Amino acid sequence: MSQQQIIALVVTAIGVGSFLVVFCILFANFRKFSVNEIRSGKRDIELIEEYFHNNKPKVIARKKIIRIVRNVLFILFLVLVFISISFTLISRFTDKLPVGTKTVMVVATDSMSEKHPDNFYLTNRNNQFQQYSIIILEKVDPDDLKQYDVIAFKTKTVTLIHRIVKVDTDLAGRTTYKTCGDKFSNLTSIDPYEPSQNDVIGRYTGIEIPFLGALVLFLQAPSGIITVIALLLCLLMFDSNSGQISKEQKLRTDFLLNILDVQHLTDKSQLSVDFVENIYLDKVAYSFNSEGLVSKDVAREVLTSHYRQLPPDDDQPAAVEQQPDLGQSVAVEQAEPVTEPTSDEQGTDQSTDEPTNTDE
């Protein structure tokens, strides 16, 4: 590897590695946040609605079809990945992939992408192909090769795919070919190496798959290998964290269904949730909901090592004198949510209906 390639590899490794680390940290935090919300009950309404939605007959049928289509697409994706990786590994060492009597090759340059005005023989020949395409070659008897065929051949250093502009014979009596890329003038840019029949890999069939060769060339490079590994790790991280979130959702849903009488629920507007937060300041407990302060009571239990048990006096005032030796201590408690069906808007006696409370 040249010094420039080494620098490019190091920069790629640092960039891809940094992305991988950031992605893992962010998604791990997202998983932690989601799990905490599920366990605290902040997604109870969403989970119940999702449960009933997913159990509708039409939704079940649609999800079954989607699952089948997804599995088929996944299998096709695996097949394509296997073929791409196989082609990449083989072509990395041989520059070609034999398939029966055919050979698949990647076009690495644009020497056959257009017609040069000096090449008069190209007027009615339109079998050019673009850089980074994948082309199909066919094995051919050397005696069947003729002038203006496009062939792939090996030189001493590289493999070229050019057009035969002249069939010649060397001093030893062997058949050789003068070749030139369509993009260059055959008057000034004849290839210096004249391949013999033994150097010919195959003849171009006219079948071209545009741009796919760019992916193959990328996967052959060290930077491409590093990127693929990082993507696989990201997918594993995503699958692992998504699985944990789904597991917590199922546990919470089962818990709610075992406690709440929601089997006859017909309207999601019948569901509501209210969160209560308790803040303990010294010996006073403050209760808040989404609208503000609900109550202010004397705390009966010590929540931290600094608190002391209150005297059993029911007339103890709410404003408790602070203890100078302990200072001021604050504790915050997030109470479990209360998931309850709301009263029906028509004809429901609000004074007699008690909401259904759920406490874990």
Write down all domains in the chain, each with its CATH number in brackets. Answer: 3-95+220-259 (no CATH), 97-218 (2.10.109.10), 276-334 (no CATH)
Whole-model pTM?
0.55
**115 within 8 A of 128, measured Cβ to Cβ:** yes
pLDDT tens digits for the chain (360 residues)? 677 778 878 888 888 888 888 988 998 999 999 999 898 888 888 888 888 888 888 888 888 899 899 889 888 877 877 776 776 666 666 656 566 678 888 898 999 999 999 999 999 999 999 999 999 999 888 888 999 999 999 998 889 999 999 999 888 888 999 999 999 999 999 999 999 988 999 999 999 999 888 887 887 777 887 887 888 888 888 888 889 999 999 999 888 888 887 766 666 666 777 777 788 887 888 888 777 888 888 755 544 433 444 444 444 444 333 333 333 334 444 444 444 444 444 444 433 344 444 443
Give the Cα separation of 50 and 43 in Å (integer).
10
pLDDT, residue 265, reads 65
pLDDT, residue 277, reads 79
E runs forming strands in the chain:
97-99, 102-106, 134-138, 150-154, 159-169, 175-180, 200-209, 271-274, 277-281, 284-289, 292-298, 330-334, 338-341
Picking from 50, 54, 29, the residue whose alpha carbon sits closest to that of residue 244 is 29
pLDDT, residue 151, reads 94
Q: Which residues pair with 261 in a beta bridge?
A: none
- Residue 269 has phi, psi (to 5 degrees) of -70, -15
Residue 328 gets which letter from DSSP? -
pLDDT, residue 133, reads 92
- Distances in Å between the alpha carbon of 168 and those of 104, 144, 172, 186, 197? 27, 14, 11, 15, 11
Q: Which residues pair with 339 in a beta bridge?
A: 273
Dihedral sign for Cα 186, 191, 193, 198, please. negative
Give the Cα separation of 278 and 299 in Å (integer).
10
**298 within 8 A of 286, measured Cβ to Cβ:** no
Question: What distance lies between CA 351 and its chain's CA centroid?
Answer: 53
Amino acid at 149: D
Picking from 339, 335, 337, 338, the residue whose alpha carbon sits closest to that of residue 270 is 339
The widest CA-to-CA distance across the chain, in whole angstroms, is 121
- Residue 142 has phi, psi (to 5 degrees) of -55, -30
